[in-house]
Chain A
Amino acid sequence: MIEAIQFASFSEFLNMGGYAFNVWAVYGLFVIFIFANLLAPRIRRKSIMKEQYRRIVLSEESDASKSD
């Protein structure tokens, strides 16, 4: 596994054969793209849960006051 790695040192790895900017920009974008589209639905889910719980509590309170 180790021998098959294309780079002898870490700085060589960062340099990407002189194409550091291009390669790292693309992989950086790719990581942002993946995380953004997995985290956004999770955050949205939390806010939906909060909002709906509030609505359920409110409607149950109003139901209770009606039956009094």
Chain B
Amino acid sequence: MWLWFSKLGSPKWFYELSEKWLPWLIGAMVIFLTIGVVWALLYLPPDYQQGYTSRILVVHVAVAGTSLAFFPLMAIAGTITLVWKMKLADMVAKNAAPLGAWFSFITLATGSIWGSASWGTWWEWSDSRLVSMLFQFFLLLGVISLRSALDNSETASKACALLSIVGCINVVVIKYSVEWWNTLHQPASPINLDSGSANGPEFWVATAIMIIAVYLFFTVSLILSTRNEILQREKRSQWVSDIVKKQHAQARS
């Protein structure tokens, strides 16, 4: 168990393993994204109240749901960094923050564009779901700037780990905001298997495909940036030099 754990934390081991996973993950991502987008844009029937704006929700729900995974992920990685000082966990946490900020921003933007059509307003300051998601966006910007503001990288990763753990409270607030406070943003609709309804099976299948697609995209993007981080932080080691030389030879030929 401990051997496995320390192996998992080895950047070299992760770099080599992810090399094998990436083609499969990218392939699956392309397939799910294509099916998800084509289905949503061509086949999804209009909602009887929202019309075709319901198609926006396929993207919005998938991105918003995935955006909630960032703080728990960074908190777990941060805990591993704090307790076991595993280098790899800190690299994942560092690269998750900017991607999470992107996810939060796209959630806010797509929600706003949907709201302008459906609610008649782009933004509502009194809505707890909207404001807590905006807060998550700012918290992630806070994590990014905290890391770059602290010169000592070990202090920086510890501080970011703590902020990520505290930030998980906000994820709970986002999740239950629509139930705790009665505001503009609607709660998640239960699955309705009656085909004619607003949240019928077509919508749920399209959304489920899009959620898988977005999670795959999140995994691929995070693996790619973590691999870059490994190449940078381990640049003095022999195995990275070998990769760099091999890459150079391939680029030449």
Contact = CB atoms under 8 A, between A and B. Distances in A.
Nearest to A20: B52
B33 interface: yes
A60 B21 CA distance: 33
A19 to B, nearest CB: 5
- The B interface, classified by DSSP as helix, strand, loop or mixed, is helix
Contact of B60 (A7, A26, A37): A26
Interface string A8-41: 0000010011110011011101100110111011
B59 A26 contact: yes
A28 to B, nearest CB: 10
Contact of A56 (B99, B232, B244): B244
B248 A23 contact: no
Contacts of A30: 37, 59, 63, 106, 110
B86 interface: no
Contacts of B52: 16-19, 23
In this complex, the interface size class of chain B, counting residues with CB under 8 Å from chain A, is 35 or more
Nearest to B224: A41
Main secondary structure of the interface of A (DSSP, over half): helix
A25 B115 CA distance: 13
Given A5-B43, A6-B46, A53-B245, A42 B51 contact: no
A29 B245 CA distance: 38
A16 B37 CA distance: 14
A42 B224 contact: yes
A33 B224 contact: no
B238 to A, nearest CB: 11
A26 B110 contact: yes
Given A38-B224, A41-B224, 16 more contacts: A5-B43, A13-B42, A16-B55, A22-B56, A23-B52, A23-B56, A26-B59, A29-B113, A30-B110, A33-B102, A34-B33, A36-B102, A37-B221, A44-B228, A45-B224, A45-B231
